[in-house]
A and B are shown apart, each in its own frame.
Chain A
Amino acid sequence: MGVAKTLYDKIWDRHRVADLDGDLALIYIDRHLVHEVTSPQAFEKLCLAGRPVRRPDATLAVPDHNVPTTPRTRPIEDPLSARQIDLLRDNARAFGVELYDMTDRRQGIVHIVGPEQGLTQPGLTMVCGDSHTSTHGAFGALAFGIGTSEVEHVLATQTLLLTKSRNMRVTVHGRLGAGVTAKDMALAIIGRIGTAGATGHVIEYTGEAVRALSMEGRMTLCNMSIEAGGRAGLVAPDDTTFAYLKGRPHSPQGEQWDKAVDQWRALVSDPRAVFDRDVAIDAATIEPQVTWGTSPEQVAAIGDRVPDPAGIDDATAREAAERALDYMGLEPGMALSDIAIDHVFIGSCTNARIEDLRAAAEIVRGRRVAASLRHAMVVPGSGLVKAQAEAEGLDRIFRDAGFDWREPGCSMCLGMNPDKVPPGERCASTSNRNFQGRQGPGARTHLVSPAMAAAAAVTGHLTDVRRLTREEAA
């Protein structure tokens, strides 16, 4: 028996190609996802050096950040966006990398496409020039975002020079209450440990409430690991994982499936493995969450009030809260449920999978988007999610209620395409970042779960979704 290892230690050790000086190791990368925004400068350098892509078969390119969410038959109006997407197409062709182009049904947000296609599997190392690559950790894959220079390094060498992170365990005991989702869990954890709480660490999520989550829920949870500062998030694979993967286009087939599952079952932290940091939360204490500021850690339960910066001791944190309230146009002490909303965005790699759309549609069914709203939109995470939702009739529920039903992409999550929240206007959003200007210059963002976004849409203000479900039951 060797030393007890965490799941992260095991994946790390399995992928060590060489040890370098200090804490650095050369780590093999199994899968590389590429999108149009962070790859052009990497491909350019490969061209200049005359280097090929080492493993085109391990690489997939998908345009997502810039793509308009209007019908795909229309040309892209923004010439800069069009150019990035053209360049991705050219580079994919020149380097022999598979591309799910804009008109491909499989196109969508790269972190939704990977799992959907079975490209994301337990025990893999996966990277993408995008911080929310942490999403794929839901399968027990070590998945993390990288910069463009690292994209180039992976394209050329299929490896990365990495310093090993520390191990952190977040255990969520017990069961989530009705109307409380993986998104609320993620936000509550960030509220507790802060946006730098997991810096330098890989988080493993465990506990009854995590095990009870569907793959969709686990993806939402791991997605936001980066918002807690984590290098990656992990959930050990189990039968839920295997059931999700079975029969997907890139999942192992036949005998190889059995061999793979055997290997995957070993991907758990040893009982006596030591974590550098341990945090435990009781699921029963988690209420539906909503952010009030410009950092995901500035979050509270929907029943709470906007905090008063005067009550914060640390000067830097106090100034940050004051700046946030000023930017958000909020007064200390006001009830969060009194905050009126102008826009609702249901989408992004955090919450645009089929289950998210079902949860939102459940609330919207038989109701109307409040007249005070300027715009409410649903952007499915991929073409396949969109098709599935349409097969279930979810699109009609949204449309009948007054929602706009769009084509897949990142959309209003970061406003690189025409979908933006105008300056000074306020959006309830299922995305993951409420940074200043994230949804457009001057835009004000409140992060919420899909059900909470739906509740805000039909009431016109931030609302405890459990109020609406109780009304229904009554």
Chain B
Amino acid sequence: MQPFTTLSSRPTPFVRDNVDTDLIIPAAYLKTVSREGLGRGCFETVRYDAEGQPRADSVFDQPAYAGSQILVGGDNFGCGSSREHAVWALADLGFRCVIAESFADIFASNCFKNGVLTVRLDRDAVTAIAAEGEAGRAIAVDLDAQTVTTEDGTVHRFEIDPFRKHCLLEGLDEVALTLDRHGDHIAAFEAADRLRRPWLHDAA
């Protein structure tokens, strides 16, 4: 996983509530067996009309936001389907951080596993940061300090679980970490469970 430390970029404002993962990446794109190249389908119906022409009212693909690495969403961002493709698609469009009022649980976890930082802030802060994007100003995200800072020096602090923070900062592979640190614990759990619930183990 690519480590996440600091990021400075103009944020792309897309402040809608209940943005679901079907909207972020429609089912047609889930037929891939790879994690790459999903940017094409990302927010397809927001970016293109039924004829496949770019929509003028879409904030995505506008030259002003080219290279933006921060997406600003509303409440309950990433709800619905568990598809990790949504995060792969956002990452493929260049986003490494999503700032929103709240996130659906599975989406937030999927982001974390892919080195994409989710930042939860209150509605006023989200609105203020979206306005920075509209005004063409960059903001700075610092994971270690747990802050989002705007150009005028306003600092928004955010919370993050210490373990997740550590993994993101270091870019750690979680599977290897679990096997290294807890391989013995898992084996012990299984041995005890075999006695407690034998029917779950002898089934094979």
For chain B, the count of residues having a C-beta within 8 Å of the partner chain is: 63
What separation, in Å, do the CA atoms of A163 and B110 have in the docked complex? 13
Cα–Cα, bound, A333→B76 (Å): 28
Is A73 at the interface (CB under 8 A from chain B)? no
A18 within 8 A of B: yes
| Least CB distance, B187 to chain A, in whole angstroms | 10
A84 within 8 Å of B (CB atoms): yes
- Among residues 77 to 110 in chain B, which have CB atoms less than 8 Å away from a CB atom of chain A? 79-85, 87, 102-106, 109-110
Are A56 and B204 neighbours in the complex by a CB distance under 8 Å?
A: yes
Additional 6 contacts, C-beta under 8 A, given A44-B33, A147-B87, A316-B16: A22-B162, A66-B31, A131-B106, A146-B82, A196-B18, A226-B80
Distance in angstroms between the alpha carbons of A227 and B178 in the assembled complex: 31
- Name B179's closest neighbour in chain A (CB-CB): A157
In the complex, the answer to whether B102 meets A196 with C-beta atoms within 8 Å is yes
Q: Which residues of B contact A21 (CB under 8 A)?
A: 161-163, 166
In the complex, B63 has a CB within 8 A of chain A: no
Task: Select which of B31, B74, B76, B103 is within 8 A of A84 by beta carbon.
Answer: B31
| B18-41 near A? 1/0 per residue, CB < 8 Å | 101011001110111111000000
Nearest A residue to B87, CB-CB: A147
Q: Could you tell me which B residues sit within 8 Å of A by CB distance?
A: 15-18, 20, 22-23, 26-28, 30-35, 45, 50, 74-76, 79-85, 87, 102-106, 109-110, 113-114, 161-164, 166, 174-176, 178-179, 181-182, 185-186, 189-190, 193, 196-201, 203-204
Which B residues touch A158, using CB under 8 A? 186, 190
Please give, as numbers and ranges, the residues of chain A lying within 8 Å of B74 by CB-CB distance. 316
Q: Which of A28, A153, A317, A435 is within 8 Å of B193, CB to CB? A: A28
Chain A stretch 367-424: residues in CB contact (< 8 A) with chain B: 414-416, 423
Beta-carbon contact of B163 and A20 below 8 Å: yes
User: What is the CA–CA distance of A262 and B200 in the complex, to the nearest angstrom?
Assistant: 15
Which 9 pairs of residues, A with B, have the shortest CB-CB distance? A57-B204, A149-B113, A196-B76, A252-B199, A147-B110, A80-B31, A147-B84, A145-B82, A40-B33
A sample of 26 inter-chain contacts (CB < 8 A) reads A17-B189, A18-B185, A24-B161, A26-B178, A26-B182, A45-B175, A56-B204, A130-B82, A131-B82, A149-B113, A156-B178, A158-B186, A159-B186, A196-B104, A229-B105, A263-B196, A297-B18, A316-B15, A316-B17, A316-B75, A433-B22, A433-B81, A436-B22, A436-B45, A438-B22, A441-B50
Tell me the bound Cα distance from A317 to B17 in angstroms. 7
Which B residue sits closest to A148, measured CB to CB? Answer: B84
- State the Cβ distance, A293 to closest chain B Cβ, in Å: 10
Please name all residues of chain A whose beta carbon is closer than 8 Å to the beta carbon of B199 when the two chains form the complex. 252-253, 256, 260
Return the contact of A150 from the options B28, B109, B182, B204 (Cβ within 8 A).
B109
Determine if A229 and B22 form an interchain contact, defined as CB atoms under 8 angstroms apart. no
Within 8 A of B (CB), among A127-171: 129-131, 144-150, 152-153, 156-159, 161, 163, 165
* Per-residue B-contact encoding for A25-46, CB less than 8 Å = 1, 0 else: 0101010000001101100110
Q: Is A58 an interface residue (CB 8 A)?
A: yes
Determine how close the nearest CB of chain B comes to the CB of A78; give it in whole angstroms. 8
Asked if A131 and B80 make an inter-chain contact with CB atoms under 8 angstroms apart, the answer reads yes
Complex alpha-carbon distance, A253 and B202, angstroms: 11
A84 proximity list for chain B (CB < 8 A)? 31, 33
Residue among A44, A297, A316 having the largest count of chain B Cβ atoms under 10 Å:
A316
The CA of A149 and the CA of B150, in the complex, are separated in Å by: 33
- A206–B50 Cα gap in the complex (Å)? 45
Whether A348 sits at the interface, judged by CB under 8 Å, is: no
B-contact 0/1 string along A60-86, CB 8 Å cutoff: 000001100000000000101101100
Chain A residues packing against B (C-beta within 8 Å): 17-18, 20-24, 26, 28, 30, 37-38, 40-41, 44-45, 49, 51, 54, 56-58, 65-66, 78, 80-81, 83-84, 87, 124, 129-131, 144-150, 152-153, 156-159, 161, 163, 165, 195-196, 199-200, 226-227, 229, 231, 250, 252-253, 256, 260, 263, 295, 297, 316-317, 319-320, 414-416, 423, 433, 435-438, 441-442
Task: State A414–B22 Cα separation when bound (angstroms).
Answer: 9
Docked pose: A153 CA to B34 CA in angstroms: 17
Nearest CB in chain A: distance from B183 CB, A: 8
- Tell whether, in the assembled complex, residue A22 and residue B163 are in contact, meaning their CB atoms are under 8 Å apart: yes
Contacting pair B83 A38 (CB below 8 A): yes
Which residues does chain A contribute within 8 Å of B162, judged by CB atoms?
Answer: 21-22
Residue from A56, A152, A226, A437 in contact with B175 in the complex, judged by beta carbons closer than 8 Å: A152
- Please determine whether A58 and B23 come into contact, CB atoms closer than 8 angstroms: no
Residues of A within 8 A of B30 (CB): 37, 65, 416
Roughly how many angstroms separate A64 CA and B110 CA in the complex, as a whole number? 22
Closest to B77 in A: A196
**For residue A153, which residue of chain B has the nearest CB?**
B175
| CB-defined contacts of A414 to chain B, threshold 8 Å | 22, 27, 81
The answer to whether A83 and B163 touch across the interface, beta carbons within 8 angstroms, is: no
Inter-subunit contact B114/A195 (CB<8 Å): no
Question: Known interface pairs A26-B182, A149-B114, A156-B175. Does A81 touch B22 (Cβ–Cβ under 8 Å)?
Answer: no
- A393–chain B nearest beta-carbon distance, Å: 34
Cβ–Cβ < 8 Å partners of B163 in chain A: 20-22, 24, 161
Distance of A167 from chain B, by nearest CB (Å): 14
Return the contact of B110 from the options A26, A54, A66, A149 (Cβ within 8 A).
Answer: A149
